[in-house]
């Protein structure tokens, strides 16, 4: 009974047909009788006091049904993080002050979009402009304009430092003194958008029973419910967030978005459904972009390449509110220390308020930026030591069983095997030497190869920390699976059905999934922090396992056999040694109901990562366990650099990865390809260009995300370190975020390999690249 039927196989996606045929309902498709169109009035200024708002004319415009401003709200603040150190700092509608261009000031609901838009133009707002600051390092100066005068200060006298993470171990001063070589470098990463295809969209309907029903494009329904209930001042039981299909999120749809609050408030005011859909321009200009990061690293190594000490400072421009800024400076520490040993380390991370847009996490949440910095410096050090980059990494990589300074074990960590195998597959050592020789040739197009690596966490303890699942057997023996998980396109519904079908030894097609409805499905961790397949997957495994136990018990009684002797296959249960004694699932269900006081067969399962750890690690000090499973990757990029134009082309990316156990290999490959393309955008072309707080390229034409012809060839090497065994808790590791980092870092290193130019700022634009090429040419001559 132990061979796997479904898990570990590339079965087609459950939602494939409905999406491919256009029948999947996204939020924009939700249509309710009497539904109104909502629009949001946004600040044109980066920093201003709101002197007055007059909505009179807008409210009187025929066709307008409701107008809301802060005066209609309870003025309850919220935050991505809400702790005593980092209290909520953001109103869902601006109260008295705006702190970034695009901040939400008022909402209008009208019979159609044109009327709503016209109404917005009739709202009169008087502003008193305040001095603004956009550069995080400038904002850190004691004399910078203060953005949150009343917030608690985490680092006096710096008034705009909104968050600080500081930790250290060992003695870095001594380590540097003992080092053969010490390097200090500073790296910059740009502000990026997420590039999800589906814009932000919400339908809110406050019905006459007093229930607020919300359909919204998100990454998890329970978090949205909690935040809406809190800011609206109503109980969780009065808010229902329902499933819709989601057209991508990549981190950009977590947390409360203010149009969700405004649509709800408008609907509560007029008792009609209100739909708000962002224009693409609003997505770029007013939704939350990803976190930019500045990283300064000082590293000391022994002559043989052993890392002796590291000092790292990370500066995050969090925008006008905390957003996820206070988290990214914690995570950046983790991504710095997890993959490689550093016996002495000092880390400081600062999250700084500016008058820029508020940020959201983005796939990798700090990892691509931190790994870009660390891995770039690795190669600079290796070059100075005359060492091969692969050897340098193998010298320092963490080994299976290593215990991290926070108490986490990396368990069966596969990074060294990933590095070895990707190097072998790509003939890295020879080609890296060839790349160095390329620098000397007169060729216009130079080829190079580079490596980048990562380790990534798999689920951590943030709201709601856990997942529960229910598996019900129907009268015909088919199965209904209830889960709070929301499929955002990554395929989690498919995977959860695979797991349920595996435990119940039945066809995947016979598992129906009902997901992501706060009213009818059990609580779930959500499609973020890379824990879904692990946390929700194990909850489903337990629920299905429990249902199977009950089913087998009913069958054993009917067949007059021992449970241990039973074998299940194709919705039939047999006695192993006399297969003619058998019973169908349908009859076993009926027997259970008939004999046991009407007990139908239902299994429930609950799972929490790090079940013995009370709470999340400290964002201030990094103390406390972070995660249970560390994935790892090594990626090699091959590039071509046109030395006349500075244009960089990625030819191929090869990935060796340890994701624990791939439940559905095709979905894992999809994740890798998607992340290679996202890494490509990060390292080569994507950047939100901002002038005085205003995004000047708010369209897919001017925001240069890679498209079909830019896709690069990919190759994969599986390093499988875990097993899936029926009846046992299993370990999958993260697969949805980490590969961006290796791609970014490997391309930067490959560019260096080919040209000798070390780019310390992303994206590597052709114009910056050309300027550097010219600079080093001048230096040589």
Partner 1 sequence: MRLPHFDLHQPSTLEEAFSLMEGGALALAGGTDLIPLMKYGLEVPSTLVSLKRVDCLKSIARRDGGVFIGAMTSLAELASSRIISENFAALFQAARSVAAPPIWNVATVGGNICQDSRCLYYNQSRAWRLEKPACLKAGGNVCHAVPKGKKCFSVYSGDLAPALAALGAMARVEKKGGSRSVSILELFSSNGLRPFTLEKEEIVTGVEIALPAKSTNSSYRKMRARPSVDYPLVSAAACVTRDGGGKIEKMRLVLGAVGPSPALVYGAGRLFEGNTLEEADWEAFSELVGKDVRMVDNLSYPGSYRKEMVPIIAARAVRAACGPGGGEENA
Residue 30: how many CA atoms within 13 Å on its side-chain side? 25
Least separation, in Å, of the C-beta of 462 and partner 1?
A: 36
Residue partners of 32: CB distance under 8 A and separation at least 6 = 203, 205, 273
Distance set, CA 755 to CA 386, 439, 733 (Å): 17, 5, 36
Beta-carbon count within 10 A of 141 CB: 12
Cβ atoms of 454 and 367 closer than 8 Å: yes
What is the spatial order of strands in the sheet that 97-98 belongs to? 97-98, 48-54, 124-129
Residue 689 or 728 with smaller CB distance to partner 1: 689
**Helix ranges restricted to H, 21-127:** 56-60, 113-122
Least separation, in Å, of the C-beta of 639 and partner 1?
A: 15
Each residue 83-122 as x (binds partner 1 by CB under 8 A) or -, in order, gives ------------------x-----------xx--------
Each residue 597-636 as x (binds partner 1 by CB under 8 A) or -, in order, gives ----------------------------------------
If one asks whether residue 698 binds partner 1 (CB under 8 A), the answer comes out as yes
Cβ atoms of 779 and 773 closer than 8 Å: no
Which range, of 365-373, 387-395, 432-440, 697-705, touches partner 1 by CB under 8 A? Answer: 697-705
DSSP 5: S
Sign for the CA dihedral angle at 424, 430, 433, 437 comes to negative
Nearest by Cα to 552 from 540, 542, 543, 562: 562
If one asks whether residue 507 binds partner 1 (CB under 8 A), the answer comes out as no
Each residue 471-500 as x (binds partner 1 by CB under 8 A) or -, in order, gives ------------------------------
Report helix, strand or coil for 106: strand
Cβ atoms of 98 and 40 closer than 8 Å: no
Instruction: Give the integer Cα–Cα distance in Å for 650 and 754.
Output: 12
Residue 135 or 642 with smaller CB distance to partner 1: 642
Pick from 75, 186, 412, 704 the residue near partner 1 by CB under 8 A: 704
Instruction: Give the integer Cα–Cα distance in Å for 117 and 41.
Output: 9
If one asks whether residue 706 binds partner 1 (CB under 8 A), the answer comes out as yes
If one asks whether residue 302 binds partner 1 (CB under 8 A), the answer comes out as no
If one asks whether residue 685 binds partner 1 (CB under 8 A), the answer comes out as yes
Least separation, in Å, of the C-beta of 489 and partner 1?
A: 21
Each residue 738-777 as x (binds partner 1 by CB under 8 A) or -, in order, gives ---------------------------xxx--x-------
Nearest by Cα to 387 from 132, 151, 636, 181: 181
Least separation, in Å, of the C-beta of 190 and partner 1?
A: 14
If one asks whether residue 709 binds partner 1 (CB under 8 A), the answer comes out as yes
Which range, of 136-144, 278-286, 392-400, 570-578, touches partner 1 by CB under 8 A? Answer: 278-286
Pick from 227, 285, 363, 625 the residue near partner 1 by CB under 8 A: 285
Residue 79 or 706 with smaller CB distance to partner 1: 706
Instruction: Give the integer Cα–Cα distance in Å for 48 and 693.
Output: 12
Pick from 694, 715, 718, 776 the residue near partner 1 by CB under 8 A: 694
Each residue 27-46 as x (binds partner 1 by CB under 8 A) or -, in order, gives -----------------x--
**Helix ranges restricted to H, 632-706:** 665-680
Pick from 151, 279, 396, 584 the residue near partner 1 by CB under 8 A: 279
If one asks whether residue 443 binds partner 1 (CB under 8 A), the answer comes out as no
Cβ atoms of 378 and 370 closer than 8 Å: no
Instruction: Give the integer Cα–Cα distance in Å for 73 and 716.
Output: 52
Nearest by Cα to 626 from 397, 372, 405, 374: 405
If one asks whether residue 273 binds partner 1 (CB under 8 A), the answer comes out as no
Which range, of 245-253, 339-347, 383-391, 708-716, touches partner 1 by CB under 8 A? Answer: 708-716
Least separation, in Å, of the C-beta of 234 and partner 1?
A: 33
Instruction: Give the integer Cα–Cα distance in Å for 202 and 281.
Output: 17
Residue 445 or 586 with smaller CB distance to partner 1: 445
| Ramachandran angles phi, psi of 365, nearest 5° | 25, 70
Pick from 56, 184, 696, 775 the residue near partner 1 by CB under 8 A: 696
Residue partners of 585: CB distance under 8 A and separation at least 6 = 473, 476, 477, 506, 551, 571, 572, 573
If one asks whether residue 644 binds partner 1 (CB under 8 A), the answer comes out as yes
Sites for partner 1 among residues 358-377 (CB under 8 A): none
Cβ atoms of 54 and 124 closer than 8 Å: yes
Residue 286 or 423 with smaller CB distance to partner 1: 286
Residue 101 or 590 with smaller CB distance to partner 1: 101
Residue 113 or 517 with smaller CB distance to partner 1: 113
Residue 518 or 765 with smaller CB distance to partner 1: 765
Under the rule (CB under 8 A), what is the footprint of partner 1? 44, 101, 113-114, 279, 281, 285, 644-645, 685, 694, 696-698, 701-702, 704, 706-710, 765-767, 770
């Amino acid at each position: 009974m132990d061979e796997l039927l479904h898990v570990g196989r590339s079965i087609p996606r459950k939602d494939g047909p409905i999406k491919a045929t256009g029948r999947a309902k996204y939020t924009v498709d939700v249509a309710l009788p009497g539904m109104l169109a909502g629009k949001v009035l946004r600040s044109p200024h980066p920093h201003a006091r709101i002197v007055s708002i007059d909505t009179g004319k807008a409210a009187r415009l025929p066709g307008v049904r409701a107008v809301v401003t802060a005066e209609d709200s309870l003025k309850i603040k919220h935050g991505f993080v809400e702790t005593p150190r980092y209290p909520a700092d953001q109103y869902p509608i601006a109260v008295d002050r705006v702190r970034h261009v695009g901040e939400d000031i008022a909402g209008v609901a009208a019979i159609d979009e044109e009327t709503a838009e016209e109404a917005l133009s009739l709202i009169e707002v008087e502003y008193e402009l305040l001095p603004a600051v956009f550069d995080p390092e400038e904002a850190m100066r004691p004399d910078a304009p203060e953005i949150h005068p009343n917030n608690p200060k985490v680092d006096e006298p710096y008034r705009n430092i909104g968050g600080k993470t500081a930790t250290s171990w060992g003695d870095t001063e001594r380590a540097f003194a003992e080092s053969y070589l010490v390097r200090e470098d500073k790296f910059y990463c740009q502000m990026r958008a997420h590039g999800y295809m589906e814009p932000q969209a919400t339908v809110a309907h406050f019905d006459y029973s007093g229930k607020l029903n919300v359909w919204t494009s998100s990454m998890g329904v329970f978090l949205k419910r909690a935040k809406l209930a809190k800011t609206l001042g109503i109980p969780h039981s009065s808010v229902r967030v329902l499933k819709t299909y989601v057209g991508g999120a990549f981190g950009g749809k977590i947390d409360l978005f203010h149009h969700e609050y405004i649509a709800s408030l408008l609907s509560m005011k007029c008792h009609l459904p209100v739909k708000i859909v962002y224009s693409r321009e609003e997505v770029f200009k007013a939704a939350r972009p990803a976190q930019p990061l500045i990283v300064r690293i000082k590293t000391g190594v022994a002559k043989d390449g052993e890392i002796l000490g590291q000092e790292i400072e990370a500066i995050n421009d969090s925008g006008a509110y905390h957003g996820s800024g206070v988290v990214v400076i914690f995570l950046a520490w983790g991504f710095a220390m997890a993959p490689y040993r550093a016996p002495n380390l000092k880390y400081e991370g600062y999250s700084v308020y500016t008058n820029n847009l508020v940020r959201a996490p983005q796939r990798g949440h700090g990892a691509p930026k931190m790994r870009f910095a660390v891995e770039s410096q690795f190669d600079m050090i290796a070059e100075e030591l005359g060492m091969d980059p692969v050897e340098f990494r193998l010298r320092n990589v963490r080994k299976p069983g290593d215990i991290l300074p926070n108490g986490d074990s990396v368990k069966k960590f596969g990074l060294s095997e990933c590095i070895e195998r990707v190097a072998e597959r790509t003939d890295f050592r020879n080609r890296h030497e060839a790349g160095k020789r390329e620098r000397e040739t007169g060729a216009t197009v130079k080829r190079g190869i580079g490596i980048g690596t990562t380790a990534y966490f798999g689920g951590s303890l943030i709201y709601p920390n856990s997942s529960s699942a229910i598996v019900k057997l129907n009268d015909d023996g088919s199965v209904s699976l209830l889960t709070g998980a929301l499929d955002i396109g990554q395929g989690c519904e498919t995977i959860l059905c695979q797991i349920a079908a595996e435990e119940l030894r039945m066809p995947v097609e016979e598992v129906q999934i009902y997901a992501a409805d706060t009213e009818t499905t059990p609580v779930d961790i959500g499609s973020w922090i890379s824990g879904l397949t692990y946390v929700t997957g194990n909850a489903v495994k337990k629920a299905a396992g429990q249902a199977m136990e009950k089913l087998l018990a009913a069958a054993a009684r009917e067949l007059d056999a021992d449970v241990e002797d039973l074998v299940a296959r194709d919705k039939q249960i047999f006695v192993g040694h006399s297969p003619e004694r058998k019973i169908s699932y349908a009859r076993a269900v009926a027997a259970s109901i008939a004999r046991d006081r009407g007990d139908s067969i239902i299994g429930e399962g609950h799972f929490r990562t790090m079940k013995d750890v009370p709470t999340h690690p400290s964002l201030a000090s990094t103390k406390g366990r972070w995660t249970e499973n560390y994935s790892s990757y090594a990626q090699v990029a091959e590039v071509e650099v046109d030395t006349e134009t500075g244009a960089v082309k990625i030819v191929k990316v090869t990935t060796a990865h340890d994701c624990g156990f791939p439940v559905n290999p095709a979905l894992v490959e999809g994740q890798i390809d998607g992340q290679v393309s996202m890494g490509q955008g990060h390292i080569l072309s994507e950047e939100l260009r901002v002038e005085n707080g205003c995004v000047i390229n708010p369209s897919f034409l001017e925001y240069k995300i890679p498209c079909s012809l830019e896709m690069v060839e990919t190759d994969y090497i599986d390093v499988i370190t875990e097993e899936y065994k029926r009846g046992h808790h299993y370990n999958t590791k993260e697969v949805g975020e980490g590969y961006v980092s290796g791609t970014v870092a490997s391309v930067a290193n490959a560019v260096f390999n080919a040209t000798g130019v070390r780019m310390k700022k992303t994206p590597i634009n052709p114009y910056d690249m050309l300027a550097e090429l010219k600079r080093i040419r001048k230096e040589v001559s």
